Amino acid sequence: MKHGFVKAAAVTPDIRVADVSYNTEQICRKIDETTEKGAKIVVFPELCITGYTCGDLFTQELLLSKAREALHVIAKHTEEKDGLFFVGVPIAVDGELYNVAAALNRGSILGLTTKSFLPNYGEFYEMRQFSPGPREAEELFFDGELLPFGPKLLFKAREMDSLIVSAEICEDVWSAVPPSIEAAREGAVIIVNCSASDETIGKEDYRNSLISGQSARLICGYVYANAGEGESTTDLVFGGHNLIAENGTVLAEGKRFENGVIYSEIDIQRLNSERRRNTTFQGAKEHRLKRIPFSIKIEETVLTRKFSSRPFVPKLEEERERRCEEILTIQAMGLKKRLAHTGAKSAVVGISGGLDSTLALLVTAKAFDMLGLERKRITAVTMPCFGTTDRTYQNACRMSVSLGADLREVPITEAVLTHFKDIGHDPKDHSVTYENAQARERTQVLMDIANQTKGLVIGTGDMSELALGWATYNGDHMSMYGVNASVPKTLVRHLVHYYADTCGDEELKEVLYDVLDTPVSPELLPPKDGEIAQKTEDLVGPYELHDFYLYYMLRFGFSPEKIYRLSRLAFEGEYEDEVIYKWLRTFYGRFFGQQFKRSCLPDGPKVGTVALSPRGDWRMPSDACGALWMKEIEKL
In a domain, 92, yes or no: yes
d(CA 282, CA 279): 7
Same domain, 393 and 447: yes
- The pLDDT, as a whole number, for residue 522 is 67
pLDDT of residue 539: 86
Q: Rounded distance, CA 422 to CA 428, Å? A: 15
Q: Please, are residues 192 and 42 in contact by the beta-carbon 8 Å criterion?
A: no
- 54 within a domain of the structure (yes/no): yes
Q: Are residues 227 and 365 in the same domain?
A: no
**268, 398: one domain:** no
Q: Are residues 231 and 361 in the same domain?
A: no
pLDDT for position 377? 98
Assigned domain for 497 exists: yes
Q: What is the pLDDT of residue 284?
A: 82
Whether 305 is covered by a domain: the verdict is: no
* 3-state secondary structure (DSSP) of residue 233: coil
We report the CATH number of the domain holding residue 431 as 3.40.50.620
Q: Which residues of the chain have pLDDT under 70?
A: 122-123, 522-524, 529-530, 532-535
* Predicted model pTM: 0.92
Does some domain include residue 311?
A: no
Task: Give 338-391 pLDDT, tens digit per residue.
Answer: 999 999 999 999 999 999 999 999 999 999 999 999 999 999 999 999 988 999
Quote the domain boundaries for residue 55: 2-294
- DSSP-derived secondary structure letter, 58: G
Distance CA 348, CA 345 (A): 10
5-11 and 41-43 as β-strands: parallel, antiparallel, unpaired? Answer: parallel
Query: Which residues, 6+ apart, have CB-to-CB distance to 143 below 8 Å?
Result: 68, 72
Contacts of 100 (CB under 8 A, 6+ apart): 88, 89, 90, 91, 112, 113, 114, 115, 133, 169
Rounded Cα gap, residues 513 and 497, in angstroms: 7
> For residue 301, what pLDDT is reported?
93
The per-residue pLDDT for 533 is: 60
Q: What is the mean pLDDT of the chain?
A: 95
| Final residue before a domain boundary, out of 260, 294, 328 | 294
Residue 200 lies in a domain: yes
Contact 88, 49 (CB under 8 A): yes
DSSP letter (8 states) at residue 255 = P
Amino acid at 79: E
* pLDDT value of residue 534: 65
Same domain, 324 and 290: no
* Strand pairing class (455-459; 346-350): parallel
Active site residues: 46, 115, 170
**Do both 390 and 460 map to the same domain?**
yes
In terms of domains, do 335 and 290 share one? no
pLDDT at 501: 96
DSSP string, 479-501: -SEETTTT--HHHHHHHHHHHHH
Do 510 and 595 belong together in one domain? yes
**Distance between CA atoms of residues 548 and 335, nearest Å:** 28
- The domain tally of the chain equals 2
Let me know whether 286 and 356 are in one domain. no
- Is 302 within the bounds of a domain? no
Residue 306 falls inside a structural domain: no
Same domain, 245 and 341: no
Cite the DSSP H helix spans in 250-409: 268-277, 317-342, 355-371, 390-403
- The CA–CA distances, whole Å, from 583 to 75, 171, 537, 549, 626 equal 49, 50, 10, 9, 16
Is residue 349 located within the same domain as residue 271?
no
Return the C-alpha torsion angle 544, 548, 551, 552, nearest 10.
180
Longest dimension (CA), the chain: 101
Give the domain-ending residue among 294, 325, 356.
Answer: 294
327 and 289 part of one domain: no
The CATH number that applies at residue 216 is: 3.60.110.10
